[in-house]
Amino acid sequence: MIYLDNAATTKMFKECVSEYEKYACADFFNPSTNYIYGVDISKALNSAREKLLAKLGAKKGDIIFTGGATESNNLALRGSLRKGWEHVVSLGEHPSVFNLAKELENDNIIKFVPLQKNGQIDYEALEKALNSKTRLISVIHVSNETGAVNDIKRISKIRDKICPKALLHVDGVQAFCKIEFGLDDLGADLYTISAHKFHGPKGVGALYVKNKQSLKSIVFGGGQEYGLRSGTENVGGIMAMCCAFEKIDVKKNFEHVKKLNALFKSKFSGVQGVSYIETESPYIISLSFSGVNGETLMRALEKDVVVGMGSACSSKKAGNRILESLGFDKDKIKSSLRISFNAYLSEEEVAMAAEIIAEKYKEVWEKVK
């Protein structure tokens, strides 16, 4: 079986499993305790924070360890709420941002900004949505549906021109360890990551916070994580996450995945009925197979090739609001699948997977036409 749904989750590095075991079984102590063993664990966590800051390209700021991207995104949006202020959110966000924003919309504090046809946020519409009451702007870095890459630096400059005190939150789940960037250069105040998207464990993530005073806690308890995320830290998960991002050479991997992406697309050059969205991140391709239901094709493929149908966090729901916002009709949305790579796939695997998908599409199309 060839796995091509890496935007949903990735296979954990074996070295990270060993690191998790070390902190779960040998160095299992609670970092909030005062005896030497707990103090040592606290020092290990602080070292992991420093390493993550460096990997993110941030000289200043703090790392809040969380249970994953959903919690980080909720902390960013809920924790920055202030009475009389507004949040501006793109329509291209992951469900962990979008669905929360829909809840907050009832309180008249949310403005949604549409997307362009290329999947990026509409920068002109964003500029019009901002004002002196804007408290937070939330924009995904790389779309988990299409691979479109938003120009965060451009958004930061727009913010600085209109509402310089507003916070810029970026969901970087599909960007971190996949595309090159530096937070100090981007100008983001809050940045979300999730370990299981870059070969770390599930159930652990982080929120970069430029200024801790900009957020209020949404989880109350013992005051861990600077009082912003109470609860005993998942030390094994955090250290395994650190192990994962330290292993990754972002530039080298990006170049390899670019080749995989081009190779995969080349296998469909003569196949009628197949189309895809051209985007900047090579890690994700949104493919449409005319005349065939995407779920039917996915089921027909799953013994040989595993592909996705968009965000795993909303796979139980009908439709696809991201593709709808790009102007796709219902038939094209129903016929769409998401292919997502990791940097450790071989060219042979990707070529074989593409050939299998193309052949299976023809077989299914013959049956339903």
| pLDDT tens per residue across span 123-182 | 999 999 999 999 999 999 999 999 999 999 999 999 999 999 999 999 999 999 999 999
Last residue of a domain, one of 190, 222, 247: 247
Is the predicted pLDDT of residue 278 greater than 60, yes or no? Answer: yes
Across 31-58, average pLDDT: 97
Contacts of 22 (CB under 8 A, 6+ apart): 236, 239
Whether 313 and 192 map to the same domain: the answer is: no
What are 146's two structure tokens? 């299409």
Q: Does residue 105 surpass a pLDDT of 90? A: no
162 by Cβ neighbours in 10 Å (0-12 / 13-18 / 19+) ranks as middle
Residue 24: which pLDDT band, with cuts at 50, 70 and 90? very high
Q: Is 163 a catalytic residue?
A: no
- Say whether both 120 and 36 belong to one domain: yes
Residues 216 and 331 in one domain: no
Domain boundary among 229, 247, 265: 247
pLDDT at 6: 97
> How far, rounded to the nearest angstrom, does the alpha carbon of residue 44 sit from its chain's CA centroid?
26
pLDDT exceeds cutoff 70 at 103: yes
Query: Which residue among the candidates 16, 25, 243, 313 is catalytic per the annotation?
Result: 313
Mean pLDDT for 224-236 is 94
Q: How far apart are CA 361 and CA 163, in angstroms?
A: 50
Query: Residue 24 contacts by C-beta under 8 Å, 6 or more apart in sequence?
Result: 235, 236
Which of 154, 167, 91 has the alpha carbon at shortest distance from 127? 154
pLDDT over 60 (residue 188): yes
Please, which residues have CB within 8 angstroms of residue 136's CB and are 6 or more apart in sequence? 76, 77, 80, 85, 87, 88, 166, 167, 168, 169
Domain identity same for 192 and 284? no
Classified as helix, coil or strand, 89 is strand
pLDDT (mean) for 104-112? 88
User: Between the CA of residue 282 and those of 146, 298, 365, what are the distances in Å?
Assistant: 10, 21, 27
Q: What is the CATH number of the domain that holds 275?
A: 3.90.1150.10
d(CA 208, CA 188): 9
Mean pLDDT (the chain) is: 93
Give the least confident one: 19-23, 111-115, 149-153, 290-294.
290-294
User: What is the domain extent for residue 298?
Assistant: 2-9+249-368
Q: What would the pLDDT profile of 352-366 be if each residue is shown by its tens digit?
A: 999 999 999 998 888
Q: Are residues 228 and 298 in the same domain?
A: no
Q: How confident is the model at residue 326 (pLDDT cuts 50, 70, 90)?
A: confident
Residue range 252-266: average pLDDT?
Answer: 97
Local confidence band at 235 (pLDDT 50, 70, 90 cut-offs): very high
How many C-beta atoms surround the C-beta of residue 262 within 10 A? Answer: 11
Mean pLDDT, residues 232-252 taken together: 98
Rounded alpha-carbon distances, angstroms, from residue 177 to 111, 197, 213: 30, 9, 27
Residue 95: give its domain's CATH number: 3.40.640.10
Tell me the pLDDT tens digit for each residue of 48-91.
999 999 999 999 999 999 999 999 999 999 999 999 999 999 99
**Which pLDDT does position 132 carry in this prediction?**
94
User: Are 206 and 68 within one domain?
Assistant: yes
Which residues are paired to 65 by β-bridges?
206
Look up residue 303 and give its two tokens.
Answer: 């013994």
| Alpha helices (runs of H) in the chain, residue ranges in sequence order | 14-21, 36-56, 69-79, 95-105, 123-129, 152-162, 183-186, 235-247, 250-266, 294-301, 321-325, 330-334, 347-368
What is the number of domains present in the chain? 2
User: What mean pLDDT comes out for the span 278-301?
Assistant: 92
The strand order across the sheet containing 134-140 reads 62-66, 205-209, 190-194, 167-171, 134-140, 86-90, 110-113
pLDDT 10s digits, 200-219: 999 999 999 999 999 999 98
Structure tokens belonging to residue 328: 């796709």
Does 162 lie in the same domain as 65?
Answer: yes
Give kind and range of the element (H or E) at residue 191: strand 190-194
CA distance linking residue 123 with residue 157, whole number of Å: 11
Task: Determine contact, residues 78/218, Cβ cutoff 8 Å.
Answer: yes
161 lies in the same domain as 281: no
Q: How confident is the model at residue 276 (pLDDT cuts 50, 70, 90)?
A: confident
Tens-place pLDDT, residues 301-320: 999 999 998 654 544 555 58
Q: Are residues 66 and 205 in the same domain?
A: yes
Identify the residue whose tokens are 């998790």: 20
Both 128 and 212 in one domain: the answer is: yes
Q: How far is CA 3 from CA 276, 344, 350, in A?
A: 19, 11, 9
Using H for helix, E for strand and C for coil, what is the string for 254-310? HHHHHHHHHHHHHCCCCCCCEEECCCCCCCEEEEEECCCCHHHHHHHHCCCEECECC
Coil, helix or strand for 32?
coil
Q: Are 330 and 234 part of one and the same domain?
A: no
Average pLDDT over residues 2-10: 97
Residues 238 and 260 placed together within one structural domain of the fold: no
Instruction: Using the 3D structure, point to which of 247, 273, 290 is the last residue of a domain.
Output: 247
